[in-house]
Structure 1
Amino acid sequence: MSEPVHPAEGGAAETPNTPSASVDPPKARKAFIPLECNPELMTSLVHKLGLSKSLAFHDVYSIVDPDLLAFVPRPAHALLLVFPVSESYQRHRIAEDAGREEYSKQGDGEDPVWFKQTIKNACGMIGVLHAVCNGKARDMIGDNSSLKELLSKALPLAPLERAKVLEDSQELASAHKSTATQGDSAVPDADANVDLHYVCFVKAKDNHLYELDGQRKGPLDRGDLGDCDVLSEPAVKVVQTFIDREKESGRLDFSLVTLAPSMD
């Protein structure tokens, strides 16, 4: 039987660890305070940036218990998974990326939209951006909003230039700092080395599930979802692979939230 995903009490904040375990970019020009995996804070963040209040983030307490899944509003537009950056994950990541070319797509026709992470400890913010800038959620970004302006500047550019737009955005930095300092967990330093990482799963226009991680070489196609959302069985199986990889290590510090219709 698959194991459920349990968010840490009070939200899973990224925690310090040795530099070798970190997936953050070396010699980053900028650093963010690690973002707590807290759906209320994430919702406040994206609403502040301009996403419609008809969407919100919600905890997913289990990916196998139908009764718990029934509490999650549907359709689920994106999933944000927080997982431990273990040796087994690092081996998997290096092996899978070894034969892949660096992503280079850009422009309005790009699908899914992907952001390269060049800001230290910004994997939470990158994950949030991936969630709201893809699929049907992207159509619910308000006109004249900070998020709409950010996208208009970033989308025409290649990945490295696009990442620089994120680095230079004062609105993004201000909104992130305001959110990251309000969590339930102790607030770590922006330059801390951490051993938890965010990855986002979205359904693109081609109906495929994509794993979006700013520390990889680009989007990873995880298969056709058809008419299903990102909490359907094919998508959940992909999430489960992250959990299964850590069974021997005993790491259970996983959290999962989804972007879905607001309950208000």
Structure 2
Amino acid sequence: MIYTDAHLHLQDPRFSGQIDDIITTMREAGITRCVVNGTSPDDWPKVSELANRHPDLITPSFGLHPWKTPYHDDRWKETLLQYLDKHPDACLGECGLDRWMKNPDRQAQEEAFLFHLALAAERNLPLSIHVLKAWGWLINLLENHALPQRGFLLHSYGGSLETAKELLKLGAYFSFSGYFLSERKAGVREVFAQLPLNRVLLETDAPDMTPPDKYRPYLLSENTNHPANLPSIASGLSYYLQTSTATLVSHMNANFQRFFGVESKII
């Protein structure tokens, strides 16, 4: 089988010095397309470099993460546009809203998010959104602004079923990460079991969102998620959704192609 990863961070310093081996292992595991999400102008150059080195595998994505908004003035907006011009196949994100972080600057977060949202709507770009403890805030903004025709992605979705139903009406996709296979995340799995399969994607969010040990055939360190764990995550989710892994992966790859506009295939 072939697999697609809707959200990860190969540019992360925790992968430094290992990236070539990691990418080789990803390919050997059957991963044929992934979206590498930048989080600020500080790591966008590395995302760009990786996409240029591995164009058959990596789709680049550029965004300002809400955790990074306190550290960047408005010059990031012009820089973002420059990276989009360099990479016509690029996506937007990771961006979003976060009230879980300590002392969030809501105004700065909202301004940054709305810039991404307007750009995604104008250019109909795939948009990857991070949200923690800000679901009502997010829905209010989405309901009152233009949205990309292709929809948008809630990465590592951990919200309620009621919230998901509201987001579905607005065009949302939802990605499942391996961390949600832990015993205490049964509620999240129950939500995904009730979502339409044509709106679900798989992700690792590597090097974060590390799955439980039984779903971690590839180890880097205790708290570092290897991107090649994706097939095991797919197997785990298929068990909880009471479907075959082959059926699930077929849906995930079709959804990936529909949302990102990129076909995953063995080159």
Which TM-score tier does this pair reach, normalised by the shorter chain?
under 0.3
From the two aligned structures, give the one with the greater helix fraction. Answer: 2
Give the TM-score of the pair, scaled to structure 2: 0.25
Query: TM-score, structure 1 length as denominator?
Result: 0.25
